[in-house]
Amino acid sequence: MFKFEIKYTDGSILCDESNGKYTLTVKESSGVFTPVFRPHVNDAIDQIVITLEKNEEFFTGMKLLSSGNCTNDIIEIWPYDDNTRFEPKECTVMKNAAGDTMFVGFVREHRFVSVINIDRRKITFTYEMENKAVNPEEDYELEPFFVKENGDVHEMLEEYASLVAEANDAVPAMDTHAGFCTWSYFYHNVDEKKMRRGADQTEKYGEGGATLFQIDDGWQEGGSFCGTWKIDEEKFPDMKGLSDYVRSKGMEFGIWVAPLIVSKERAGEPEVAGLLIEDVSTANSCPLDFSKPEVYEYLKELFTGLKNNYNITYFKLDFLWSAIKDFSGKRRYFSFDGDYAMAYYRKALQTIRDAVGEDTYLLACGAPVLAGAGIMNGIRVSCDIVWGKIDNFPTYWELIRKTTASDLYRYFYNGVVFRNDADGLCLRGEDCGDGFEATYNEAKLWATTVAMSGGPVLVNEDLDKLPPERAELFTKLMYPVGVAAKPYDYFEDPCPSVSYATYGDNVSFVALYNWDYHRQRSIKFELSKIGMDGGYVIDSFSGTFLGARDMVETGVCNPHTAAMFVVVKPPKEPCFLYSDINVWGGINLFCSSYENGRLTVYGDSHGKNIYTFFPKGYAPEGEVVAETEEGVVCRYTE
């Protein structure tokens, strides 16, 4: 089933069967294959490449998930082409014209940078050995990978996520944040006065549901990759006071840090002098030299100080991949004396985790996906929603489309390996200099994406400057439920038009998307396709009860928009049905009991409407607002 090659830096290849210098054994358990490499000589090896042999007919009419190299890459479904080389890195799922499916993916990345390649009808697993000399007769356990054929696509992806979680002792955040992030609106133009006003706005529009306030790049002296991470006291004269102010409003305080690279002009700062590889990677920056023990002391001191001095319990860690991946083009990846690069990378992340403690949320951005499993709580699952006005860059609408697809394609990580992060909630219709000027329909579609991602809801706006109907899109996303939607048809072209998520046994959320550029469409979706033989349908954004239906439908809708629905199985006894408090119908905020002929609803309505259901034969309570064959819907009154 497998064959392997040993590659050297001069490009030569030696195979095991040709000279007996190496032995590779592959252990298998429940579809997980663990290669063990044993050298019999001490050669310096550049790569080990394992090929999964597959019938060439499988590639006919095949589509595959191009899952990118890091968290912020655009994720897409691509048609296979013999002239194109795909590098999905961690994992991919494939489906051919005959309907045959296959999944391959690494389940951990603890020591070696590991990459999947699909090229010329071959599937290969490549391990970077960094031209280091290997020790004769020592066993090198390579990163294990999962292979499954002819399964349901969703089931394969979800089984993979469970295997990754188990292999890495995953620690996904259980709570889902809502609140504010400065990026994609304020950018570097942040200061204490603006942030206090932003905290006030977040509390006001969040209506009791905001739990996080995060300052992105710009709070520190010395630029984006400063290395010192000291407060810019001209902009923030009392950062601890600001932190306390944010917390007084019921929100955690968070900041952005790019801790593993330092700009070249800052390399001489006392905190980092002598701790860098003096070679440039991203944005004229240098990576930390992980082979030096002082690096870990530096990281420990940095994060211990930030947390303790300013009561920071949320860190957005960015540009992590740039500490390993060489973007200058001189080499594929950086190498360090001693151990292999990925082992050092995880040691650096674990040092940060140990410094801040388990009670602090760590979000990985610009990072290799798998390598953070078991350490990071959250992970970005798409690119930034705004890239700015640069020639040949995608438009804001293309980014909305691409990020929505990326979020859906990576749904399976959410709540199992990481808490997925769909980037900020941008809602404005006026360009503030970055090219983002969404129509209301486009802003609603992006709000739907964030809602259906299962991740945090962090608005990136000056909320007081938004028209009320746009600010309400933020308010309607408060109290997120934390479940991620999956695409109904994973391989739909050009991207999914239907996504759905289940919550418990009786509730589903369904989103319908019109991706057309110029054409109005009416989109319909039968609920039986997701195992619901009809249900009570509620329009998520308006909170309107639409009745008992066997399908959800948009009616004729404009291009660049989405509709979202809550679908509830008809209850058997009087109970809470839904609230218009948020797009999820408040199903995670309210519960009810029916005893002695009386219905009691528990939960804080925050002034929003609560709706109850009384089946036929029960005396309704409150104002009857709708009737169905099974009973009546009432507006609840205490």
pLDDT in tens, 430-451: 999 999 999 999 999 999 999 9
Which of 569 and 519 is assigned the larger pLDDT?
569
Which of 18 and 92 is assigned the larger pLDDT?
92
How many whole angstroms separate alpha carbon 78 and alpha carbon 86?
Answer: 9
- What is the percent of the chain with per-residue pLDDT over 90, rounded to a whole number? 88
Q: Looking up tokens 């996303």, which residue turns up?
A: 477
- Residues 6-34 have a mean pLDDT of 83
Lowest pLDDT segment from 6-15, 106-115, 622-631: 6-15
- Please name the residues in contact with 337: beta carbons below 8 A apart, sequence gap of 6 or more: 291
- Tell me the HSE value of 519 on the side-chain side, using a 13 A CA sphere: 5
| CATH 2.60.40.1180 residue spans of the chain | 493-635
How many whole angstroms separate alpha carbon 625 and alpha carbon 203?
Answer: 32
- At 92-110, the pLDDT tens digits run 999 999 999 999 999 999 9
Q: What angle do CA 67, 146, 322 make, to 5 degrees?
A: 40
Residue pair 62/80 in contact by the 8 Å Cβ criterion: yes
Nearest to 323 by CA among 232, 260, 412: 260
Residue pair 408/400 in contact by the 8 Å Cβ criterion: no
Handedness of CA 242, 244, 249, 254 (dihedral sign): positive
Which of 205 and 331 is assigned the larger pLDDT?
205
How many whole angstroms separate alpha carbon 263 and alpha carbon 220?
Answer: 14
Residue pair 622/612 in contact by the 8 Å Cβ criterion: yes
What is the helix (H) or strand (E) element at residue 578, kind and residue range? strand 575-579
Q: How confident is the model at residue 389 (pLDDT cuts 50, 70, 90)?
A: confident
Query: 264: helix, coil or strand?
Result: helix
Q: How confident is the model at residue 518 (pLDDT cuts 50, 70, 90)?
A: confident
Q: What is the CATH number of domain 175-377?
A: 3.20.20.70
Nearest to 377 by CA among 234, 539, 254, 215: 254
How many whole angstroms separate alpha carbon 33 and alpha carbon 29?
Answer: 7
- At 475-486, the pLDDT tens digits run 999 999 999 999
Q: Which amino acid does the sequence have at 193?
A: K
Q: Which amino acid does the sequence have at 149?
A: E
- At 230-286, the pLDDT tens digits run 999 999 999 999 999 999 999 999 999 999 999 999 999 999 999 999 887 778 899
Instruction: Assess whether pLDDT exceeds 90 at residue 329.
Output: no
Which strands make up the sheet holding 314-317, listed edge to edge? 419-421, 378-380, 361-364, 314-317, 252-257, 212-215, 178-181, 457-459
DSSP label at 440?
H
| CATH 3.20.20.70 residue spans of the chain | 175-377
- What is the percent of the chain with per-residue pLDDT over 70, rounded to a whole number? 99
CATH class for domain 493-635?
Answer: mainly beta
Residue pair 231/219 in contact by the 8 Å Cβ criterion: yes
Q: Which amino acid does the sequence have at 458?
A: L
How many whole angstroms separate alpha carbon 200 and alpha carbon 575?
Answer: 36
Instruction: Assess whether pLDDT exceeds 60 at residue 525.
Output: yes
- At 61-104, the pLDDT tens digits run 999 999 989 999 999 999 998 888 999 999 999 999 999 999 99
Q: Which two tokens stand for residue 42?
A: 């001490």
pLDDT score recorded for residue 138: 96
Q: Which amino acid does the sequence have at 366?
A: G
pTM: 0.96
DSSP label at 193?
H
Instruction: Assess whether pLDDT exceeds 70 at residue 42.
Output: yes
Q: What is the dihedral of CA 446, 448, 453, 457, to 10 degrees?
A: 70
How many CB atoms within 10 Å of residue 77? 21
Instruction: Give the DSSP letter string of 311-359.
Output: T--EEEE---GGGTB-TTSS-SB---SSS-HHHHHHHHHHHHHHHH-TT
Strand partners of residue 322: none
Instruction: Assess whether pLDDT exceeds 60 at residue 18.
Output: no
pLDDT score recorded for residue 16: 54
Q: How confident is the model at residue 14 (pLDDT cuts 50, 70, 90)?
A: low
How many whole angstroms separate alpha carbon 200 and alpha carbon 85?
Answer: 50
